[in-house]
Structure 1
């Protein structure tokens, strides 16, 4: 039987697994050249839907907290992801993003007083190495602005996860998820209009299906599972699960698009999975050996607290 924490980890892992399908949905179902529009539709309609279902608005300090978390987890993260995707090969961006668990572990140590163990650090480095084997290509080019955007995206997402753990909302999970998605979507909306212009005048059936999948499954469901995991698990364990996204994206590219799957990629995927398992498990501390009670010698006193009378 799985423990409760293991069940939560498995359900939380569904979120990055779903996000790993974003590339396939974007390339096969959505209109080309509109990534910011896709980001807005992923966030804003899903957030408004969850707020409508729960009928809960933020109260007091949660107005600005929801705005900050929405900017970190959704708005700023999506925008930086967009810049990195346009200026870097996907493998470079994914490899840089794989440092997120290490960043989250460091932030959790500073803000939440969680211990950063050598085991966690080693698992984090192994995760970065595994992702690089999985997606990085030898001819990958580097761009200074793209690298900075990818690294900043990892920083803001790690910060958002840690702050989401520190600021636990008293409201229901779906309401809190809706607040963040709405705040992030409202932040992205003017940026998308300025950069990409108004939405297309007409959409095909494939476009509608793709946007609907991103909004309902990729955001409303996936982020609810993600934020539920943040409430129940440590930020470090949650961010390690995010490494599943490039694994799922690679597998879907191989299955659905006929992309090549090489031996180094398979090895990289196995390394990523191993780092996830290590990060989710806690080593058992060795039990102290039992010390047998000392035998009382013939000349030892029956009560040690009573001094021995010597003649």
Structure 2
């Protein structure tokens, strides 16, 4: 994460924040797995966004910020809440009814590749380069390794769950384009608060219609998992997200995509006894390679080192 304008201490601080963000986002898969024992997936999404709103509104107040009242802002916030919260959270939680937390986090790691392709197709200032296309192909190849050839042989709820998580990754990618086009010019914390309020407004009628009124006669462990999702994996995560964005930039922030699965896998193994098989490990390695190709910086650095050594000889 080193740049010419950052001292080593700031680089170390940024990387530490990045690890913390990966941990709290990796923890979201564990929290969801625990909450799903008593709470259906759409209701978990509602809990996650509703509980996070007061924490972010408090942060707004402490920062001396206020939510805009314009129709354009709230239209953008509703769309962002749909694409970045309501749809992906619900798909991931639904998918986790069939697949393990670690596998869900690995499949969610395709977000960076989807984001690069979607931005290349929809944003004129982010062209679709050869690296991005190659990275996307590698990412999808990693997914194919994970799902296996039997995925084409017939219907399997586990395969459908994996496709749901991939759909969530695509929704995250579309959200990045939506946010850039419609929510530019506002402080990030304002955008996050508006987005979560929008997601809560959208999810409430859906939950009431599909799953009924939320139950509150839940165990302490389930309440703890829901609180962890909302306060750690959402409110705190967005605070870390924006701190890293300000310190290290969007390109470095993308590194969190690779760091989330190891945390999710470790937590799943420690708390739930989950184990990731060889196919999932190889698939994650291929997805990680796709990320490296998409990002391009490591390849450019290796190329420069090779050219320098060649010139020196």
Task: Report the TM-score, using the length of structure 2 for normalisation.
Answer: 0.72
String of CA shifts for 1:6-33, please: whole Å, max 9, x gaps. Answer: 7757745654543332332233356424
Structure having the larger proportion of residues in helix = 2
Structure 2's unaligned 5+ residue stretches are 309-313
Q: How many residues align?
A: 285
Change (3 A) 1:269 1:76: closer
- The residue number in structure 2 matching 1:184 is 199
- The residue number in structure 1 matching 2:49 is 43
- Equivalent residues of 2:113, 2:291 under 8 A apart: no
Q: Does 1:233 align with 2:250?
A: yes
- Equivalent residues of 1:70, 1:183 under 8 A apart: yes
- The residue number in structure 2 matching 1:303 is none
Change (3 A) 1:227 1:164: farther
Where do 1:65-104 residues align within 5 Å? 65-82=76-93, 84=95, 89=99, 99-104=110-115
String of CA shifts for 1:226-277, please: whole Å, max 9, x gaps. Answer: 456677325xx76674354444333332333333344444333444444444
Report the RMSD for the aligned CA atoms in angstroms: 3.9
Deviation at 1:280, TM superposition (A): 3.9
Q: Name the larger-Rg structure.
A: 1
Change (3 A) 1:257 1:82: closer
Change (3 A) 1:21 1:93: closer
- The residue number in structure 2 matching 1:19 is 25
Where do 1:211-290 residues align within 5 Å? 211-226=226-241, 232-233=249-250, 241-242=256-257, 244-282=259-297, 283=300
Deviation at 1:84, TM superposition (A): 4.9
Partner SS for 2:82: helix
- The residue number in structure 2 matching 1:126 is 138
Structure 1's unaligned 5+ residue stretches are 290-311
Distance in 2 of aligned mates of 1:28 and 1:14:
21
String of CA shifts for 1:171-198, please: whole Å, max 9, x gaps. Answer: 4332221111111122111211222222
Change (3 A) 1:23 1:242: same
- Equivalent residues of 1:101, 1:240 under 8 A apart: no
- Equivalent residues of 1:72, 1:160 under 8 A apart: yes
- The residue number in structure 2 matching 1:308 is none
Moved more, 183-192 or 4-13: 4-13
Q: Does 1:195 align with 2:210?
A: yes
Distance in 2 of aligned mates of 1:138 and 1:13:
34
Task: Report the TM-score, using the length of structure 1 for normalisation.
Answer: 0.72
Change (3 A) 1:98 1:245: same
